[in-house]
């Protein structure tokens, strides 16, 4: 699977170019599935958030980029659907667009639904995360970002990549997400990490990591408490 782990979606030309490069064809020739699930449990969650994500009316629309087609994959529904059916939908998609919200809630439902187990079998599929949709692919989110608490506790996510992500760096809507806060967070993560702002994404292909940015970001290599 090819990953584009964004802070706030496709916010500038550099991130857009990275997306097209991963797809290997224009957006207009690519089919997408959007996954709104994390939006139901994020800070200040309301039913309008997932709707805005699905409809392309959010501040940073992901579904309104001009895709050939867009479908909705709601993870909480998958356990009650024939597995072969929804797996065929995922396999047919060129890209998965994964909403922000609560990363651990998303992690729980990616595991419960079976999607997490399926992802390694999709080498040509592009995964585009938005905030929590990016953080879920990391080993840990850090205690600062634990909202919804998983049954087993802790702050572990899927660990598809070997680094953690501190999102919304110095964003006016997140005044607590300062560089100093990111440094404190990284000290407790126990591994490589990045703090990224809304103009930044992290591209991962075959284990190779590249930061794509027209904004601000900071790396913390092997930070330990």
Distance, CA of 92 to CA of 33 (rounded, Å): 9
pLDDT at 200 over 70: yes
Mean pLDDT value across the chain: 94
Distance, CA of 169 to CA of 198 (rounded, Å): 8
If pLDDT is split at 50, 70 and 90, which confidence band does 223 have? very low
pLDDT at 43 over 50: yes
Q: What is the mean pLDDT of residues 30-47?
A: 93
Tokens of 75: 């993870």
Among 52, 63, 119, residue whose Cα is nearest residue 91: 119
Per-residue pLDDT reduced to its tens digit, 129-165: 999 999 999 999 999 999 999 999 999 999 999 999 9
Residue by residue, DSSP assigns 178-209 as: -HHHHHHHHHTT-EEEEEE-TTEEEEEETTEE
Percent of the chain scored above 90 by pLDDT?
90
- The confidence score (pLDDT) of residue 222 equals 64
Per the CB < 8 A criterion, the answer to whether 168 and 139 are in contact is no
Per-residue pLDDT reduced to its tens digit, 84-118: 999 999 999 999 999 999 999 999 999 999 999 99
If pLDDT is split at 50, 70 and 90, which confidence band does 60 have? confident
Distance, CA of 20 to CA of 142 (rounded, Å): 31
If pLDDT is split at 50, 70 and 90, which confidence band does 224 have? very low
Percent of the chain scored above 70 by pLDDT?
98
Domain ranges of the chain: 2-223
Q: What is the mean pLDDT of residues 47-62?
A: 92
The pTM of the whole model exceeds 0.75: yes
Among 117, 19, 22, 124, residue whose Cα is nearest residue 75: 117
- The confidence score (pLDDT) of residue 225 equals 33
pLDDT at 180 over 60: yes
- The confidence score (pLDDT) of residue 135 equals 98
Distance, CA of 22 to CA of 213 (rounded, Å): 16
Distance, CA of 8 to CA of 16 (rounded, Å): 12
Give whole-number Cα distances, 160 to 14, 73, 107, 157, in Å: 24, 20, 11, 9
When the candidates are 3.30.460.20, 3.80.10.10, 3.40.50.880, 2.120.10.30, the CATH number that belongs to 2-223 is 3.40.50.880
Per the CB < 8 A criterion, the answer to whether 129 and 6 are in contact is yes
């Amino acid at each position: 699977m090819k990953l584009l782990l964004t802070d706030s979606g496709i916010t500038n030309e550099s991130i857009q170019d990275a997306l097209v490069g991963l797809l290997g064809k224009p957006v207009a020739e690519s089919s997408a599935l959007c996954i709104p699930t994390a939006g139901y449990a994020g800070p200040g969650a309301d039913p309008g958030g997932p709707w805005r994500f699905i409809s392309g009316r959010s501040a940073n629309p992901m579904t309104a980029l001009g895709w050939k087609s867009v479908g909705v994959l709601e993870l909480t529904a998958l356990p009650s659907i024939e597995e072969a059916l929804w797996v065929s939908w995922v396999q047919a998609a060129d890209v998965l667009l994964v909403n922000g919200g609560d990363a651990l809630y998303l992690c729980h439902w990616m595991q419960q639904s079976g999607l997490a187990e399926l992802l390694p079998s999709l080498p040509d599929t592009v995964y585009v995360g938005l905030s929590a949709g990016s953080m879920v692919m990391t080993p840990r989110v850090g205690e600062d970002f634990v909202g919804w608490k998983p049954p087993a506790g802790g702050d572990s996510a899927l660990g598809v990549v070997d680094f953690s992500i501190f999102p919304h760096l110095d964003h006016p809507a997140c005044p607590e997400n300062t560089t100093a806060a990111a440094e404190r967070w990284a000290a407790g993560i126990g591994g490589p990490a990045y703090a990224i702002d809304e103009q930044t994404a992290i591209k991962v292909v075959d284990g190779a990591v590249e930061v794509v940015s027209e904004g601000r970001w900071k790396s913390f290599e092997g930070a330990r408490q």
